[in-house]
Structure 1
């Protein structure tokens, strides 16, 4: 009896050590930065419903394809200098988007987001946001303002450009470095990490359709590829 008990104890100990080793290996081989104080959002959060993908594919077929126009006369001021409170909730669009896209947020009073955690859709990295390092997390226009200008927004009235610049469906909280790399490029020149490309395509097409903005042939082909691989 003593021998049998010893065997069972030895087997259990070996199993425990094996499980612990496997857990350590899995956590260290992911290549993802570890979130501090919480679990980051899963990439499945970036998978749009099938009906949105189907809708985006149909809208993409209806988008006009044309070459980019002139950049002459563009400035961010042409789209409004400051963030607006478009939904009249007491907070401007920057803070509304931060509150929407970050987790574990802390506010200064009822509006300004002071800190939070971003699972960056463009790179997949987890970024800790604080007001002291506010530039680490930026608000990107999915269909860039300068590109919109070259594709027809230069002819819009000022109030429509301001509406466009503050439209939450075109705004996304992202990590600074990939946003600076993206700049005013369309999807034919720049693309996010693979896990976000489907959602990126859906959002980009939705904005182009909403504001009747055309796309270049290169952008159209890239968007088609994103949606085909959803």
Structure 2
């Protein structure tokens, strides 16, 4: 029942804005992953390191690029060992956020949203593509145990950024 109420809330989030001040352009949100702390590991690499269930290996001794580790895709429940098999997923998609208030944000606000760790999961690339820019009213993870967590996290991020 809780999932159903979250889906109703998510469905109502979908109709808040009728027109966009400007067209969505991903480059205005995330031209590339940043390396805020200057350690040569960008946001994607740091996420791979943080979420790995086993020690990671790197492509060279500088330890900038993760090659392998052990990750569980929350959308499917499957495990992956190759970093290249995973996409960084925006729980609240960038284009969805754009349509629901983010179009009015500054470039810095868009970038902060795009790289907010609370809005990022590592998922199988094919499921990331199948989700596209849909919210929980149009798409839910195929792995049943992840559905409630996904819907709750989506709502939490949408509320955090005022995407109502």
TM-score range, shorter chain: 0.7 to 0.9
Q: 2:71 aligns with which of 93, 118, 122?
A: 118
Q: 1:189 to 1:115 in 2, by over 3 A?
A: same
CA shift, 1:198, in A, is 2.2
Match of 2:106 in 1: 157
Distance in structure 2 (CA, Å) of the matches to 1:66 and 1:198? 18
TM-score (norm: length of structure 2): 0.81
Q: 1:122 to 1:66 in 2, by over 3 A?
A: closer
- 1:133-152, aligned counterparts within 5 Å? 134=84, 136-152=85-101
1:177 matched to which residue of 2?
A: 126
Q: Does 1:97 align with 2:47?
A: yes
Counterpart mapping for 1:83-94 below 5 A: 83-86=33-36, 88=37, 90=39, 91-94=41-44
RMSD: 2.5
CA-CA distance at 1:66 after TM superposition:
5.4
Corresponding residue of 1:194? 144
- Determine the C-alpha separation between the residues in 1 that align with 2:137 and 2:154: 12
Q: Unaligned stretches of 5+ in structure 1? A: 1-52, 215-230
Establish whether residue 106 from structure 1 lines up as the match of residue 57 from structure 2: yes
TM-score w.r.t. length of structure 1: 0.59
Q: Distance in 1 between matches of 2:117 and 2:156?
A: 12
Equivalent-residue separation in structure 2 for 1:199 and 1:162 (angstroms): 24
Q: Is the 8 A contact 1:99 1:113 kept in 2?
A: yes
State the number of aligned residues. Answer: 151
Partners of 2:18 and 2:25 in 1: how far apart? 15
SS at match of 1:74: coil
Q: Which moved more, 1:97-106 or 1:143-152?
A: 97-106
CA distance 1:69–1:162, shift in 2 (3 Å): farther
Computing the radius of gyration from Cα coordinates, the structure with the larger value is 1
Aligned to 1:16: none
In structure 2, C-alpha distance between the alignment counterparts of 1:75 and 1:116, rounded to whole Å = 32
Report matched runs for 1:1-230 at 5 Å. Answer: 65=13, 67=15, 68-70=17-19, 73-86=23-36, 88=37, 90=39, 91-104=41-54, 105-107=56-58, 108=60, 109-130=62-83, 134=84, 136-192=85-141, 193-214=143-164
Shift of 1:99: 1.1
Q: How far did residue 70 of structure 1 move?
A: 4.3
